Amino acid sequence: MHMATRTKRWTLEELHSLPDDGNKYELVDGELFVTPAPTPRHETILG
Digit-coded pLDDT (tens) for 1-47: 677 677 889 999 999 999 999 899 999 999 999 999 889 998 899 88
Structural domain contains residue 40: yes
pTM for this predicted structure: 0.66
DSSP-based helix, strand, coil % in the chain, nearest 5:
25, 20, 55
24 lies in a domain? Answer: yes
**Residue 42 falls inside a structural domain:** yes
d(CA 42, CA 40): 5
**How far is residue 24's CA from residue 35's CA, in Å, rounded to a whole number?**
5
- Whether residue 25 lies inside any domain: the answer is yes
Q: What pLDDT score was predicted for residue 9?
A: 94
DSSP character at residue 47: -
20 phi and psi, to 5 degrees? Answer: -90, 80
Residue 15 to residue 34: CA distance in whole angstroms: 11
In a domain? residue 34 = yes
Report the number of distinct structural domains present in the chain.
1
16 located within any domain: yes
Asked, for residue 5, whether it belongs to a domain, the answer is: no
What domain range includes position 31?
Answer: 12-46
